[in-house]
Structures are given as C-alpha cells and as structure tokens.
Amino acid sequence: MFGIVPKRLWSKTYPCDEDNMCTWAMRSLLIEDRDRKILIDTGIGDKQDERFRSHFYPHGSTAVESLKSVGVNSEEITDVILTHLHFDHVGGALYFDKNAKSLPTYANATYWTGEEQYDWAYNPNEREKASFLKENFVPLKEEGRLKLIGTEKDSFQFSDSISMKFYFGHTHGMIVPTIHLPEQQIIYCADLLASSAHLGAPYVMAFDIEPLKSIDEKMEMLSHAYETKSILAMEHDYYNEAFTLLLNEKGKYEAVPCLL
C-alpha cells in the first residue's frame, strides 16, 4: 500500500500487525441529490469464494447493510458510480442468487464507469489481471445496466452537483468525483489518495501502473483541494473518513480530520 516507502517510515503514520498487514476501509459514499440517491463504489461484495477472501480478511458491514443503517434500502439507489473496476471497488455491484445467477445488487440503479477503464479491465494487463474479475462488471454491460462515460476530455459533468475528473496513474480512466455544495466541495479520492498517510509525494501504492504519473496527479489534486478548501473523502483510510488540508511550517500538507 505504500510502494517503495520503507516500513519504518510509513508505520509511524499507519499501524500494521506483526504480518505487516494494515486495516483498511472500503467506504462508499451516498449522495442524496434532489430525487436521486447516488452511491459511489460498492466495496468487495461477497461473491468470491473463501480462498479468495482469505487473502484479505474482510470484515465489517457490507454497503447494503450500511445503507440500511441510515434508513436507505438498496432498491432506492438510482445511480451507482464505479470509480474503477478493481474488485474492492466493484465487487458489491452484483450478487449471486440461490441459483448462482448474477444480479445487480441495486435493482433500480443505473451503473456508471469510464469507457477507457472498462476496456482496460476487459482486456487486462498482467499487472492488474488479478484485480479485474469479469464477474464483477461484465454482466452489468451485457444486461444494459452499465453506462460508459467517454474519457476523451479530462472531466465530465455528471449532474448539476457532481463533476468527474479522470486519472491514469493508478489505473487507466479512474474517476474521481467532486460533489459541489453551496459553500464547499467534497472530493471523493478513490485510489488517487488512499489515506491521510499518503499525503507525501512518494507515498503511492505499488498497485499503481504508472507511479510517477500517480505522484503528479495526486499533488495536482492536493494543490487544488488546498486552494479551494475542499473536503477530501477517504475510501480506504480506516481512521479518517474525511479531512481538509493545511500547510505546516515545512510547506508539507497535513490532514485536519472532519466528518462528512
């Protein structure tokens, strides 16, 4: 998760166990926008077998259970934005019924992802092949439930309140949505920024297909977030669901935790 950064450095800001394993979140974001209920990312789901799951020790609530805890049923979701198609972001988009048939978890929702990301995932490279599981996304396309957003431009206006920007360092065509509120904006960072412990420039994941591009994209986003006083919503940071930024006396970004 921290690439080439030595453990003695990253472990000061993000704890691990004796096997060097860290606890991470798979935090979806629910947006109520007029008559739409929009979910960003769906977590790992429960379709994969125990052997697959044993590598990651998943625990805690599913996205569906978390929605119920705030009074929202899965049938109420109108749109699901998939930032990218790695299994920990899209695994919960579909489920298997008792006859092992694949069905959309959000029965009434339109699913959205980047066109380039879909093509990239459907014909995966050797580096990412294990993260792109076709049972997580191909049925959505085959059933006409998935809309693909062109990435010819570097941004897309999803609605009056939500814009999207595309990034290419972690994986090709990853979506980072921004929610525009009357007095502030929220940037849902997906895997552009994994946690508050990744604020330093070299702190990018070994999963990234182009780490130097990841660094440039991340630092550009952080500069924009600082200048606009944006809230950064964390998908994977177990300890901080969101934070704003300040610059310390050394000119480095620090996180100021807040709630969404």
pLDDT in tens, 33-46: 999 999 999 999 98
In this prediction, residues 172-179 reach a mean pLDDT of: 97
Does residue 150 fall inside a structural domain? yes
Does residue 47 fall inside a structural domain? yes
CATH number of the domain within which 90 lies: 3.60.15.10
Does residue 78 fall inside a structural domain? yes
pLDDT in tens, 77-132: 999 999 999 999 999 999 998 888 899 999 999 999 999 999 999 999 999 999 99
Mean of per-residue pLDDT scores for the chain: 95
Q: What pLDDT band is residue 199 in, cutting at 50, 70 and 90?
A: very high
Sheet holding 36-40, edge to edge: 29-33, 36-40, 79-81, 110-114, 146-149
Does residue 222 fall inside a structural domain? yes
Does residue 172 fall inside a structural domain? yes
151, pLDDT greater than 90: no
Res 234: pLDDT: 98
Does residue 193 fall inside a structural domain? yes
Dihedral of CA atoms 12, 201, 151, 226 in degrees, nearest 10, equals: 90
Does residue 1 fall inside a structural domain? no
> Percent of the chain, pLDDT > 90?
88
Does residue 32 fall inside a structural domain? yes
User: What is the spatial distance between Cα 43 and Cα 65, in angstroms, rounded to a whole number?
Assistant: 12
Burial 72-101 (b: 16+ CB within 10 A, else e): bebebbebbbbbbbbbbbbbbbbbeeeeee
Residues 70 and 31: beta-carbon distance below 8 Å: no
Report the domain count for the chain. Answer: 1
pTM: 0.96
Domain of 203?
7-258
Res 51: pLDDT: 86
User: What is the spatial distance between Cα 222 and Cα 136, in angstroms, rounded to a whole number?
Assistant: 31
